[in-house]
Chains A and B, each alone.
Chain A
């Protein structure tokens, strides 16, 4: 083979490797910011809030997930600080009584039945073991969603979510703890 052809080959190879390793991960995700620039850190420090104060369990054991507007409006009916983010939150959401459309980083597909009660109350797991450092972050990172499958980027292992939330990640822990009975344990 001539030199030119080898160079063409290597050029193609390099381009593909670059596209696949560098460009593709950027392009495959669509990014959108969260509706409000909420700071977990401020609420933990200044308001003395723990995770379960806002992300609470209901009486029947179900998990309330991301809090609804009434939880925020309970304190933020009037501005409590001086940030612009809080002011725009009150103007855009509290006053017109509009629910912010949060994007859940840890959203699972429709066919998964995940019980927070079993993991938090029975297994005594900490929030950080699955949700990473979201609870101590100062801002909310943008929500990145896979363009084709519609799954959140955090399902795969990321620096923010070192644990990952794909089925294999859950199964690894369940297997270790001897809690692998049947598929319907986690599927609905």
Chain B
């Protein structure tokens, strides 16, 4: 007997009817729904014991105290430590995502340490007359900075270079009744945010700026001047130039400048930020003694400002970019290098900065992987010592810049942080604030070992107040001159820095909202004729690069505001002009 097609169909029909009376199809539907809810592409958070650890944020000199909520040992969330006498529990957007930094795609993972050491040794040997070996420290006044200074002193022609020379002055905001800021982001990233917010009620802030920055919107008074005319205004305020000249240069009315002069006279003491033409009054700026240093370290090279290095004199340049500091445009550094094959070694954790210009890029750990101390903030009246205690381990093969430079100079070093802590402990002054229990005690009541242990578990040493500290003045970075008119470069450039590179979560501020200017974008007045988000080329006399355009009514016509991307900053110089052309 042959099986007919109809029988096969009947069999299939029976199976179909039967299967509906079994749990199978209903269960398969449920399972598919459950599978779709646990979509394999979605990462699952790790689970484990929740622990709390403490450290200090080393992304800037504010060094805010950090409480890290960790799953096991992995930080999953950072917040401030309320009750901290300086940082008052504040943490900025960059610090709040600091635990993402180890996973940045632009991370430098490996580098030719041996070849770099050999090249540096050769360069040192080849140094001729008038040539030098320089270590450029982008965040000076750390303990590592002392090692660099000692290493450079051990070399015959070593120079320790910092962006702007030696500066051990501090600003006392509590003494100021008026703060006159020439474009300094007082309320948005200057000093210690927690300290500035706490002191805010005690002073009147006058912001002098070409664009409407966040500080300008929050200031008590915003005076909009033409870019580059800060110096002219400062001279008028200091009485060394006529008011009419300043009015002409800035675009302000004469009456406004007169009113400003009256304010500064009657509502002092005045703190002046961003211009050294005008002196701060009262005790708003004082000289601050540094945290004690071991006596053996005094044999150290002096701090040289980059600008005062002779041009074409540096044969070997070691750039420590491991600690976030100001990005100096490459042309300001390049002109100090000898023209024939200088050796440039950059210690960097990201490929976006000086790694683009160096011969050798050596990978370093990043916050919160590495221990380093944080220099005292500019608005900290007393010196501080705090260590960014590591929360996670750095990857393998990271270079320690301090050890590399010391080895290159033949300087023997030990655990410099411990030595510094012991020297501070020996001086027996000041207080120790520990984060876990939010308690403060005098340093002399703590043993050296307990001090070291506390510093590594999250603490801050604060120097004793020094009532006899002499009054001082702030040195401004460089006086900007009014950009000369140029027909083919019609826009005056204003730089507003953001901390880059940062966590990709900062896209919330740059890309998924219009809150901040993204590092790879420029801001123009809406009347510029370009659309928001347009791709364009930003060009100055120094070169060009691709940027995106953001429209911002706070930027006046004739001005282009750029953010902190190193690629863009490389094209900017004091008084530079630019053009932005749609692609």
- Cβ contacts under 8 Å, B19 to chain A: 16, 19-20
Q: How many A-B residue pairs have CB under 8 A?
A: 94
Least CB separation from B30: chain A residue: A149
Give 1 or 0 for each of A121-144: 1 = CB within 8 Å of chain B CB. 000000000000000000000000
Given contacts A24-B23, A24-B27, contact A17 B18 (CB under 8 A): yes
How far is the CB of A65 from the nearest CB of chain B, in Å? 9
Stretch at the interface among A4-12, A34-42, A72-80: A4-12
Least CB separation from B44: chain A residue: A110
B34:A151 contact, CB within 8 angstroms: yes
Give 1 or 0 for each of B12-31: 1 = CB within 8 Å of chain A CB. 11111111011110011011
Stretch at the interface among B3-11, B166-174, B529-537, B547-555: B3-11
Least CB separation from A156: chain B residue: B27
- Cβ contacts under 8 Å, B254 to chain A: none
A111 to B39, CA, bound (A): 12
Tell whether A15 is near chain B: CB-to-CB under 8 Å: yes
A16 to B557, CA, bound (A): 78
A60 to B48, CA, bound (A): 13
A17:B38 contact, CB within 8 angstroms: no
B34:A13 contact, CB within 8 angstroms: no
Size of the B side of the interface (Cβ < 8 Å), in residues, is 30
A19 to B28, CA, bound (A): 14
- Please report whether the interface of chain A is mostly helix, strand, loop or mixed according to DSSP: helix
Tell whether B49 is near chain A: CB-to-CB under 8 Å: yes
A24:B50 contact, CB within 8 angstroms: no
A32 to B32, CA, bound (A): 22
Chain A interface category by residue count: 20 to 34
Known A-B contacts: A5-B10, A148-B35. Give 8 more (CB < 8 A): A10-B14, A12-B16, A13-B18, A16-B22, A20-B24, A25-B23, A148-B28, A149-B30
Most buried by A among B18, B23, B38: B18
Q: 12 A-B contacts, Cβ less than 8 Å apart? A: A4-B7, A6-B10, A9-B13, A12-B14, A12-B16, A13-B14, A15-B14, A20-B24, A21-B23, A110-B45, A146-B34, A148-B35
A152 to B223, CA, bound (A): 67
A123 to B18, CA, bound (A): 45
A75 to B190, CA, bound (A): 56
Tell whether A58 is near chain B: CB-to-CB under 8 Å: yes
A12:B10 contact, CB within 8 angstroms: yes
- Cβ contacts under 8 Å, B38 to chain A: 109-110, 149-150
How far is the CB of B273 from the nearest CB of chain A, in Å? 45
A24:B24 contact, CB within 8 angstroms: yes
Given contacts A148-B32, A149-B38, contact A60 B50 (CB under 8 A): yes
Tell whether A14 is near chain B: CB-to-CB under 8 Å: yes
B23:A12 contact, CB within 8 angstroms: no
A15:B18 contact, CB within 8 angstroms: yes
Given contacts A20-B24, A148-B31, contact A12 B6 (CB under 8 A): no
Give 1 or 0 for each of A77-100: 1 = CB within 8 Å of chain B CB. 000000000000000000000000
How far is the CB of A56 from the nearest CB of chain B, in Å? 11
Tell whether B37 is near chain A: CB-to-CB under 8 Å: yes
- Cβ contacts under 8 Å, A8 to chain B: 7-8, 10-11, 14
* CB-based closest 9 A-B pairs: A20-B22, A12-B14, A16-B18, A149-B34, A148-B31, A9-B14, A12-B15, A13-B14, A12-B11
- Cβ contacts under 8 Å, A20 to chain B: 18-19, 21-24
- Cβ contacts under 8 Å, B8 to chain A: 8
- Cβ contacts under 8 Å, A1 to chain B: 10
Most buried by A among B6, B7, B28: B7
Tell whether A49 is near chain B: CB-to-CB under 8 Å: no
Tell whether A28 is near chain B: CB-to-CB under 8 Å: yes
- Cβ contacts under 8 Å, B18 to chain A: 12-17, 20
- Cβ contacts under 8 Å, B49 to chain A: 58, 62, 64
A25 to B16, CA, bound (A): 18
A8 to B17, CA, bound (A): 13
How far is the CB of B408 from the nearest CB of chain A, in Å? 40
- Cβ contacts under 8 Å, B30 to chain A: 149
Given contacts A8-B7, A148-B28, contact A15 B37 (CB under 8 A): no
A1 to B7, CA, bound (A): 11
- Cβ contacts under 8 Å, B12 to chain A: 12
A95 to B17, CA, bound (A): 58
